Amino acid sequence: MVGAFDFVPAIVLLPFFSFLVALFLGKYMPKGGALAGITATAGSLLLSIWTVLTVAGFTGTATTYQQTLYTWAGGMEGTPLPYELTFGLLIDPLSSMMLLIVTLVAFLVHVFSLGYMNDEGETGLPRYYAGLGLFSASMLGFVVADNLLMAFMFFELVGLCSYLLIGFWFREEAPPSAAKKAFLVTRFGDYFFLIGVVAVFATFGTAAFAGDGSFPALAEAALAGEGGGDVNTLFGLDPQAWFTVVGLLVLGGVVGKSAQFPLHTWLPDAMEGPTPVSALIHAATMVAAGVYLVARMYGFYALTPTTLAIIAFVGGFTALFAATMGVVKREIKQVLAYSTISQYGYMMLALGSGGYIAATFHLMTHAFFKALLFLGAGSVIIAMHHNENMWDMGGLKDRMPTTYYTFLAGSLALAGIFPFSGFWSKDEVLYEALVHGLGGSPLLLAAWAMGLLAVFFTGFYTFRMVFLTFHGKPRTDTARNPHGVRWNVKGPLAVLAVLAVVAGFINMVPVAKLTGLEIEFLHDWLAHGPSGLTSEHYSELTHDYANYSVGTLVGGELGTALISGAVSLGLALAGAGLAYSLYNVPEPVEHTDRLGSAKDVLFNNYYQDEYQVWLANDVARGISRGADKFDQGVVDGVVNGISSVSLLSGSRVRRIQTGVVSNYAALLTLGLVALLVILGLQGGWFV
């Protein structure tokens, strides 16, 4: 019987065809290839819905799918570890959910692009739509990958598309530079990822994510003391330490792609790209690739408590760090960029503290509300004739109500206000960190505290943005008379706004605990799947290997959940309230001077860019100068020395060729005599 799984390759290939069509035929098509992209992503979306329904069991029994499609390098016989490098599909609850998110956002972004790019009379549209198509295809390929190497390849393709689309306006000065920065910074992380992939192959001889022979399963067996002989650890480390090293290497790619500290600097600059691109790539999907990768191989990470602690701490720190920078920004997209970094910090915090479901949940809700906010910002930017400075806006509420109400829904979700989707997911993230922290992992409590503090800043910068943009009196002529937007902008906004409001209802943990109803749908969803890839298995692993256990405050789990939710909601409301009192006035003024010297630090992003430029210019250049000296002096010196010896001796020895035949005869004779003497000495003639 033909089922949804037979069409899964088409989910990836359809956007790829739209890439080819837009690239080669786009200039002959009426909308510059937009229709091909919309059709392809719509097709992928429908197929993804069918896939999700199949996985959920609406078409019979709940089922998952793993299939190797193509072996492009066979096992090498005779070597100790015969590797097989393959392309394959892995469809389980996690990847099918991600397929749905990616195709939905990609489809809406394609539609929105009609308004943002076509209606604004941009040139180079075939290139733009080709980039979007290739990006969608690569991201979907990454999502369905069943092994780490395939995931890595699509991970790189995604990075390439990001580079192409950030630098879309390549004739201006800033975008190409931002594109290069994004490419280089993420590539720096991917370098470690590549070594990690090689290390996984060297250790396990396979990079498959799922099944009995997959590398998380082998790692678990090795740590449990069964079949440890199948695992080669390097450098004489014991399996636990070596797995930590491998996990950290792969984490390098995650930190780069998901814009975690210290490799977050590329993301704010990436806002130079077209706004739909920012929505699709730098908020909803590509940046999610890093988090998704950790979730995908969570069975491996759950075995190494050190890695988990680092993930949690980096995540918590990034959440707070980025949120404070978002507080002072003037451009609407910059605020959103820092909030993106901050929100991915939350997801990492959840993953590191054993909250696999919480991270996946926040990944989903964030994809919806952040895509919504970016597209809303795009709508505002269209209206403002591509002026992004919030201090030039104001009062847009009455002139563009659709954008205002949808943007407000997204903002409430981002700030984590009850009952919007962000509240449920962020609350669960913090809850997981708190209970596991109380259960005997004090480091998680520190990460939790940073995440909790970031909630306040999130509420503040979100509503500062809303009030400055939409409330008060218009501060410029453009804001008094904004450019209108059409259905192709409002439609995607409306769809995403609905999702941003309701997406949280699939997993209302506090309500479920309070009422005892079975409404934790996401828990059930992620609890089934191939053995070894279920959330229950993961929680066993974190409990057994990382000693994560649940600790509670007063009132048991219910009380803790309610207290945690109330505290984070209170902080979010406090932040929003502060923003309300400062900025929701007819003529708001900048209050940043009150921050004193902290203001400069925040405006300059904690001097992270300067620090990295210093690293590159002074440190790296100094080291390379030293390396150059060593190369020129020692390596080249030895080679040149040897060659100069033969040159010199050659120039001396050649002088015996005088051209005088008598000299040659004399040399021949001398040679003969010498030979005779030697032979004589050896033969004992003279004794």
Partner 1 sequence: MVPPQYYLLLAAAIFCIGLFGILTRRNALLFLMSVELMLNAANINLVAFSVYWGNVTGQTLSLFTMALAAAEVAIGIGIILTLYRNFGDVDVTDAASMRW
Minimum gap (Å) between residue 663 Cβ and partner 1? 9
Find the binder of partner 1 among 77, 79, 235, 655 (CB under 8 A): 655
Q: Which stretch binds partner 1 (CB under 8 A): 183-191, 572-580, 651-659, 674-682?
A: 651-659
Per CB under 8 A, 665 contacts partner 1: yes
For partner 1, which is the closer residue by CB, 554 or 661? 661
Residue 677 neighbours by CB distance under 10 Å: 12
For partner 1, which is the closer residue by CB, 184 or 667? 667
Per CB under 8 A, 649 contacts partner 1: no
Q: Which stretch binds partner 1 (CB under 8 A): 356-364, 372-380, 402-410, 664-672?
A: 664-672
Find the binder of partner 1 among 60, 229, 596, 659 (CB under 8 A): 659
Per CB under 8 A, 666 contacts partner 1: yes
For partner 1, which is the closer residue by CB, 581 or 662? 662
What separation, in Å, do the N-terminal and C-terminal C-alpha atoms of the chain show? 101
What are 473's two structure tokens? 């009196």
Minimum gap (Å) between residue 668 Cβ and partner 1? 9
Q: How far apart are CA 338 and CA 292, in angstroms?
A: 20
Q: Which stretch binds partner 1 (CB under 8 A): 12-20, 228-236, 432-440, 657-665?
A: 657-665
Q: How far apart are CA 476 and CA 393, in angstroms?
A: 7
Q: Which stretch binds partner 1 (CB under 8 A): 131-139, 502-510, 601-609, 650-658?
A: 650-658
Per CB under 8 A, 682 contacts partner 1: no
Q: Answer whether 319's CB lies under 8 Å from 342's CB.
A: yes
Q: Answer whether 409's CB lies under 8 Å from 371's CB.
A: no
Find the binder of partner 1 among 657, 676, 677, 678 (CB under 8 A): 657
For partner 1, which is the closer residue by CB, 2 or 660? 660
Q: How far apart are CA 147 and CA 153, in angstroms?
A: 10
Residue 597 neighbours by CB distance under 10 Å: 7
For partner 1, which is the closer residue by CB, 661 or 687? 661
Site for partner 1 in 414-453 (CB under 8 A): none
Find the binder of partner 1 among 596, 661, 682, 687 (CB under 8 A): 661
For partner 1, which is the closer residue by CB, 505 or 685? 685
For partner 1, which is the closer residue by CB, 634 or 666? 666
Residue 448 identity (one-letter amino acid): W
Q: Cα–Cα–Cα angle for 353, 356, 357, nearest 5°? A: 125
**Which H/E stretch holds residue 494?**
helix 487-502
Closest CA to 172 of 122, 118, 116, 115: 122
Minimum gap (Å) between residue 623 Cβ and partner 1? 47
Q: Answer whether 302's CB lies under 8 Å from 355's CB.
A: no
Q: Answer whether 485's CB lies under 8 Å from 401's CB.
A: no
For partner 1, which is the closer residue by CB, 517 or 647? 647
Per CB under 8 A, 687 contacts partner 1: no
For partner 1, which is the closer residue by CB, 481 or 658? 658
At which residue do the structure tokens 């409590």 appear?
445
Q: How far apart are CA 610 and CA 608, in angstroms?
A: 5
Partners of 66 in beta bridges? 90
Per CB under 8 A, 669 contacts partner 1: yes
- Convert 410-440 into a string of H (helix), E (strand) and C (coil): HHHHHHCCCCCHHHHHHHHHHHHHHHHHHCC
Per CB under 8 A, 676 contacts partner 1: no
Q: Any idea how long the chain is? A: 687
- Footprint on this chain of partner 1 (rule: CB under 8 A): 654-655, 657-662, 665-666, 669
